[in-house]
Every structure is written in structure tokens, then in C-alpha cells.
């Protein structure tokens, strides 16, 4: 079985982002970029399934500008067999991303697609569900545990009410939650090896994807600042302060 | 004519409070009608609750045995059929809504507006990105159906003094059999629900162990608060994951939030930014949580919490 893994590049999760004063976006020039943390988890899960003999090939897919190729090399160094870089200079909406992934799914015929549950830049949490809908296949979102056997995936999902277990026939789309696994670190020799692994570069325009851009972002703003707080010196003072606010 | 279809969230025959919050957001659009749709194998009790929500014009029920569990692959094709004639489809931004709404949106051929914080107009909304560190205004083409999830922490629950009519409908949608519900494992709790509670006490890594978390529960019970946790406390196995508050857990906006032994990583702060009053109790005076706390107290939680209980009498 082949597993396709979505591998988005985002502003590193440790960076405190700044909104541009003119409201046209956030500052990304010179800011550290990394793999979306949920996508590292997705790739790790795919690699573990390959190590268990469930899968024989892991392909990482990225959609983005020309310099994204270097980022995909990180996925190859982590252990993916090969990469597909769908090249576009424009930011794509989750629906366009899902339609693009569907084209690759039709071409590659994977048994499983694993994506992160959300990208930490747009926080949309849509692409996996949309791909599953367009592909007319099962989705198992917010996966905390994945077991594959007999053409089926048994997935434990992290839902508000607790843990929900569902069973899905393959092929299917799984989106990863934080607790699914602990992604491995990239080792130096693997970085060298990754240089010889293949990366297919495809122009987004050549895939015949209908781009969806009917939602436009018109303004960016910093969140409202909370007013400066006060420090109290002991429990009695804290209780008094809360009582004064009518909270206790 | 603006007509909004709100997807009801329910579990065990009870309507989830997130639905009334989504109705509040729908009312802010000032539509001609707000209808709530309940998909279930036995929708009667849930529909009766939904009919009481202020502002609801009509409750639609779709009773099918396949709807016994909220599987997105089963619900989505039915919602798509039922959405004909509506200008907007809203779902709460809970794990239920986040799972279902994008599947509905894709079948309708549109992207979705995730986590609506404010409604600026029928097609203009504000939503958070980058873990709440930026707020964007988005505009949906006026000719497109709007599919959106509603950030529950940003909206009050609509009151329930209404009496909307309930109408059973049948939708002609072929349902897949490729996805099956197996079981739901719930953490048992008699405490208030984390997402709806006016007071929340959360513990972090500083609490130190599962056993030590009892001190958090005890204090929370004393003031009638729900109990939450940071990711560190969940990962360390002190508490189950459904108690996690933050970007990847629950986003809450209680009137009072007390963070105990939580340093305040960006991802945690995202989950509590809209709380009315934030109290931080931490032994590290330099912890980032103090930057956003309204009231801070530096010290040992194992001494402070018993002192607090004593002060409360």
C-alpha cells in the first residue's frame, strides 16, 4: 500500500507573529519556516505503518512556491520515499488544496492519505475533510490512534466528549491530532541520503484544478490587547480582589 | 432572502449548548429565517429542546437509523440536500462541527469560513488565524452559499423561551456504508461542562502528578468551577485529553479562569484569551501567563490553594 502525506510549510510554531501595520498581512519575511507540526505527526505515522509492513511506499506532497522543494527534502530526510511538489506562487484555499490532492490521489492510487488536522497558520481545519468528501471516501479526523488491518482502519478520534472509535474501509483520509505519536528527529546521514531521493515538480496550472477563491481576506489586525493586570501577595488578597469583581 | 440552516449538535438525546451559540451568530446576520436541523435516529427530544431556542424559526428533523451516530460521511450528503434554498449553513466550531462542516462545504463546492468570531455583515466575518495572534476579516462572494463554523467562545448561548414548530423532513440522499461507529469512551465527570462553565480552574505541569491533581478538583468543586488542563498536564498523563484547553484543545471564554501551575505557552493562551478575568497562580514570577493575567499571585500552589479554600470559609 502507498500512503500519501500532506506536508505544508508554515511559520514556525515558536515564532510570535506580527501583523503588518497597514493590515495587509502578517510579517513572513525573514521569519523561520518549518513543517506544520501536525504534518510531521502525519509523516511519522506513515513511516511507522511502513516499518510495520502495512505500507510499502510513503510519498510527501507539498503545494507552494519554488523554494518549497528544500522543505520537502526534510520530509525525505525523515524517511519518505519520494516527494511531489505542486508548484504555485499563490496561496491556495483549503478547497483548492483538496482538489489538487484529489488529482494526485487519482494518479497515485494510495491506500491511505494522512494529513494534519489543521495548519497552524490559517487554523482552517478543512482540507482533509474536503478531500474525503470529493473522493467520496471515509474520513477519520483528529486521530489519536490508528490500527490498520484487513483493508480497514480502526481509528480512535479525540472528540470533545472523549475518545470515539470508528472503523473505515480503505482507502480513507486520516487527519492527525497531537497525541498520535512523537515525530522522529532527522539525522545527518539521512539528510545526505535525501538529496538523491526523487522530487516530482508539477505546475498547479497543469493539473486542471478549478481554483476556489470565493473567500477573500480583506484585512489583518492584531488581537485586542488585554489591560495590564495586578499582582496580589497572598490568597486572602486574591479572594478579596475576586469578591470585589463579583466573581466569588 | 437570507435563510440560515444551523446544524444541531447533540449526544445521548440531549442538545449540546454549542447549538444555541451558533444560533446567536446566525441571529447576528439578521436573516429572514433561522432553521435548525436535527439528524438522529430518534430526534424528538433534541428537536423539542432546539425549538425553545430564541430566534429559531423552525426545527427540521431527519430521522434515519443511519443517523444514530454523528458520522460526517453519513450526515454530510443529507445536509447538502437539506441546504437547498438556504444562503448560509452554520455549525458550531466543536469537534462535531469541524469534522462535518468542511465535508458539507466541499460537496457544495465552496470553502468554509472557520471559527467565526464576529459577523460584520451577511457575507463578512472576522476569524482568528495563527493561534489567535491575528484576526482577519474575510468576505465571501455574495453569490456563494456561506458555510461557516461558529467559534462558540465568542458567542453567548441564545436564551430558550421560544416555541418554534417542528417539521419532520425526509431527504433523498444515498448514504455510504464505508464508515462505521464502534464506540465512544467518555471521561466520567459530574463537574460543569468545560465549554459552557462560567468558572474554570486549570492545572498544568506544575501540579506534578495525577494524584496531586486532586487539589485542583477540590478547589474547583469548592467554587463550582469546571476543570481544565494544559497540554503538558495531559501529555504527562495527569488528566484525560478532553480536558485540554488551547489551540488544539478546547477554546473557552468563562467569566473567571484560574490557571494553576501553567506557564502560558502561546498555544494555551489561544484557548483562554477571551476569558473575562484571568487569574494566574505560579511559582515562577517570569512565566508568560502573567503577561495576560488580570490578577497574578506568585507562590507555591500547594500552599496557595489550601489558603484560598480557607479564605473562602
Instruction: Please give the grid coordinates belonging to residue B136.
Output: 482577519
Q: What is the pLDDT of residue B189?
A: 77
C-alpha cell at B9: 449538535
- A129 contacts in chain B (CB < 8 Å): 72, 98-103, 106
Query: In 3D, which of A95, A118, A84, A96 has the Cα closest to residue A5?
Result: A84
pLDDT at B16 over 90: yes
Rounded to a whole number of angstroms, the distance from the CA of A209 to the nearest CA of chain B is 13
Give the closest-approach CA distance of B260 to chain A in angstroms.
Answer: 13
The answer to whether the Cβ–Cβ distance between B102 and A126 falls below 8 Å is: yes
Q: What is the pLDDT of residues B81-107, one digit of tens each?
A: 999 999 999 999 999 999 999 999 999
CB within 8 Å: B133 and A16: yes
Check residue B125 and give its pLDDT: 98
Task: Give residue B196's pLDDT.
Answer: 86
With beta carbons less than 8 A apart as the criterion, state whether B220 and B307 touch.
no
Contact assignment for B128 to A123 by CB distance below 8 Å: yes
Domains, chain A: 2-244 (3.40.50.620)
Q: How do A9-11 and B179-185 pair as beta strands?
A: unpaired
Min distance A193 CA to chain B CA atoms (Å): 33
User: Which chain B residues are within 8 Å of A178, Cβ to Cβ?
Assistant: 231, 248
pLDDT > 90 fraction of chain A, expressed in percent and rounded: 93
Q: If you count residue pairs, one on A and one on B, with CB atoms under 8 Å apart, how many are there?
A: 250
Taking the C-alpha atoms of residue B278 and residue B289, their distance in angstroms, rounded to an integer, is 9
Give the DSSP letter string of A149-217.
ETTEEEEEEEETTEEEEEEEESSEEEEE-GGG--PPPPPHHHHHHHTTS-EEEEEGGGGT------EEE
- CA distance from start to end of chain B: 57
Instruction: Mark yes or no for CB contact A139/B103 under 8 Å.
Output: yes
Please indicate if any CB of chain A lies within 8 Å of the CB of B293. Answer: yes
pLDDT of residue A100: 98
Class of residue B119 by CB neighbours under 10 A (exposed 0-12, middle 13-18, buried 19+) = buried
Instruction: List the single best residue of A15, A123, A179 to mutate versus B (max B Cβ within 10 A).
Output: A123
On whether any CB of chain A is under 8 Å from the CB of B241, the answer is yes
DSSP A105-140: HHHH--SEEEEES--TTT----HHHHHHHHHT--EE
Sheet holding B277-282, edge to edge: A230-232, B295-298, B277-282, B256-260, B199-203, B226-229
In Å, how far is A194's CA from the nearest CA of chain B? 30
Q: Which residues in chain B touch residue A230, judged by CB atoms under 8 angstroms apart?
A: 294-296
Element (H, E) at B25: helix B18-28
pLDDT tens digit sequence for A157-210: 999 989 999 999 999 999 999 989 999 999 999 999 999 999 999 999 999 999
Residue numbers of B between 96 and 115 with CB closer than 8 Å to A: 96, 98-107, 109-115
The Cα A199–Cα A219 span in angstroms is: 36
Helix (H) or strand (E) holding A143: strand A139-149
Q: Kindly state whether B295 is in contact with chain A, defined as any CB-CB distance less than 8 angstroms.
A: yes
How distant is the Cα of A82 from the closest Cα of chain B, in angstroms?
Answer: 28
pLDDT in tens, B139-191: 999 999 999 999 999 999 999 999 999 999 999 999 999 999 999 998 777 89
Residues of chain A with pLDDT > 70, as a percent, come to 100
Rounded CA gap, B140 and B148, in Å?
10
Work out whether the CA dihedral B215, B220, B222, B223 comes out positive or negative: positive
Q: Longest Cα pair distance anywhere in chain A, in angstroms?
A: 68
pLDDT band at A225 (very low <50, low <70, confident <90, very high): confident
Q: Which of B96, B273, B293 is nearest residue A223 as measured by Cβ atoms?
A: B273
Question: Are the Cβ atoms of B112 and A126 closer than 8 angstroms?
Answer: yes
Helices (H), A17-93: 37-51, 68-78
Burial class (CB in 10 A: 0-12, 13-18, 19+), B299: middle
Nearest CB among A216, A235, A239 relative to B139 is that of: A216
Question: CA B60, B20, B175, A125 torsion: positive or negative?
Answer: positive
Which residues in chain A are closer than 8 Å to B144, comparing Cβ atoms?
A: 214
pLDDT digits (tens, 9 = 90+) for A55-99: 999 999 999 999 999 999 999 999 999 999 999 999 999 999 999
Helices B18-28 and B95-108, axial angle in degrees (round to 10): 50
Omega of the bond leading into A200 within 30 degrees of 0 (cis): no
Partner-chain contact A226 B296, CB within 8 Å = no
Residue A213 has pLDDT above 90, yes or no: no
Distance to chain A for B30, nearest Cα, Å:
21
Q: Check B136 against A219: CB less than 8 A apart.
A: yes
B106, A134: Cβ pair inside 8 Å? yes
Q: Do A162 and B242 touch (CB under 8 A)?
A: yes
- Max Cα distance, chain B (Å): 62
Let me know: does A2 contact A110? Beta carbons within 8 Å: yes
Amino acid at each position: 500500500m502507498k500512503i500519501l502525506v500532506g506536508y505544508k510549510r508554515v511559520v514556525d510554531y515558536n515564532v510570535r507573529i506580527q501583523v503588518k501595520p497597514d493590515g495587509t498581512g502578517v510579517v513572513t519575511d525573514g521569519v523561520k519556516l518549518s513543517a506544520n507540526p501536525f504534518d510531521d505527526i502525519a509523516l511519522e505515522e506513515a513511516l511507522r505503518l511502513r516499518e510495520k509492513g502495512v505500507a510499502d511506499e510513503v510519498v510527501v506532497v507539498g503545494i507552494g512556491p519554488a523554494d518549497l522543494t528544500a522543505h520537502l527534502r526534510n520530509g525525505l530526510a525523515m524517511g519518505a520515499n519520494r516527494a511531489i511538489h505542486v508548484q504555485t506562487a499563490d496561496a491556495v484555499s483549503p478547497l483548492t488544496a483538496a482538489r489538487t490532492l484529489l488529482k494526485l490521489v487519482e494518479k497515485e492510487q494510495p491506500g491511505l492519505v494522512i494529513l494534519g488536522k489543521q495548519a497552524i497558520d490559517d487554523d482552517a481545519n478543512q482540507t482533509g475533510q474536503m478531500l474525503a468528501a470529493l473522493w467520496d471516501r471515509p474520513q477519520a479526523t483528529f486521530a489519536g490512534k490508528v490500527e490498520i488491518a484487513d483493508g480497514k482502519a480502526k481509528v480512535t478520534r479525540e472528540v470533545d466528549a472523549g475518545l470515539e472509535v470508528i472503523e473505515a474501509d480503505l482507502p480513507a483520509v486520516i487527519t492527525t491530532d497531537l497525541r498520535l505519536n512523537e515525530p522522529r528527529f532527522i539525522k545527518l546521514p539521512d539528510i545526505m541520503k535525501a538529496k538523491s531521493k526523487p522530487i516530482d515538480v508539477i505546475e498547479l496550472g497543469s493539473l486542471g484544478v478549478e481554483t476556489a477563491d470565493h473567500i477573500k481576506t480583506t484585512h489583518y489586525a492584531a488581537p485586542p490587547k488585554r489591560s495590564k493586570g495586578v499582582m496580589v501577595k497572598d490568597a486572602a488578597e486574591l479572594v478579596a480582589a475576586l469578591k470585589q469583581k463579583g466573581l466569588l | 432572502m437570507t435563510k440560515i440552516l444551523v446544524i444541531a449538535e447533540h449526544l445521548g438525546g440531549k442538545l449540546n449548548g454549542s447549538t444555541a451559540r451558533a444560533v446567536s451568530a446566525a441571529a447576528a446576520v439578521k436573516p429572514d429565517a433561522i432553521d435548525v436541523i436535527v439528524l438522529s435516529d430518534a430526534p424528538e427530544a433534541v428537536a423539542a429542546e432546539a425549538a425553545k431556542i430564541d430566534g429559531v424559526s423552525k426545527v427540521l428533523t431527519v430521522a434515519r437509523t443511519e443517523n444514530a451516530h454523528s458520522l460526517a460521511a453519513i450526515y454530510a450528503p443529507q445536509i447538502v440536500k437539506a441546504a437547498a434554498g438556504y444562503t448560509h449553513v452554520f455549525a458550531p466550531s466543536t469537534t462535531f462541527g469541524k469534522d462535518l462542516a468542511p465535508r458539507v462545504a466541499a460537496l457544495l463546492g465552496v470553502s468554509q469560513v472557520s471559527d467565526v468570531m464576529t459577523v460584520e455583515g451577511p457575507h463578512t466575518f472576522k476569524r482568528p488565524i495563527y493561534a489567535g495572534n491575528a484576526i482577519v476579516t474575510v468576505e465571501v462572494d455574495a453569490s456563494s452559499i456561506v458555510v461557516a463554523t461558529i467559534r462558540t467562545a465568542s458567542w453567548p448561548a441564545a436564551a430558550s423561551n421560544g416555541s418554534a414548530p417542528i417539521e419532520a423532513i425526509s431527504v433523498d440522499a444515498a448514504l455510504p456504508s464505508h464508515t462505521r461507529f464502534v464506540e465512544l469512551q467518555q471521561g466520567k465527570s459530574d463537574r460543569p461542562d468545560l465549554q459552557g462553565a462560567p468558572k474554570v480552574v486549570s492545572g498544568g505541569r506544575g501540579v506534578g502528578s495525577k494524584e496531586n491533581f486532586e487539589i485542583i478538583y477540590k478547589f474547583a468543586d469548592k467554587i463550582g468551577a469546571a476543570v481544565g488542563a494544559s497540554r503538558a498536564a495531559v501529555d504527562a498523563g495527569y488528566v484525560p485529553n478532553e480536558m485540554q484547553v488551547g489551540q488544539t484543545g478546547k477554546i473557552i471564554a468563562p467569566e473567571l479562569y484560574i490557571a494553576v501551575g501553567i506557564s502560558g505557552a502561546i498555544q494555551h493562551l489561544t484557548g483562554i484569551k477571551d476569558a473575562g478575568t484571568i487569574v494566574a497562580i505560579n511559582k515562577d514570577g517570569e512565566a508568560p501567563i502573567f503577561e495576560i493575567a488580570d490578577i497574578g499571585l506568585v507562590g507555591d500552589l500547594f500552599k496557595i490553594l489550601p489558603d484560598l479554600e480557607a479564605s473562602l470559609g
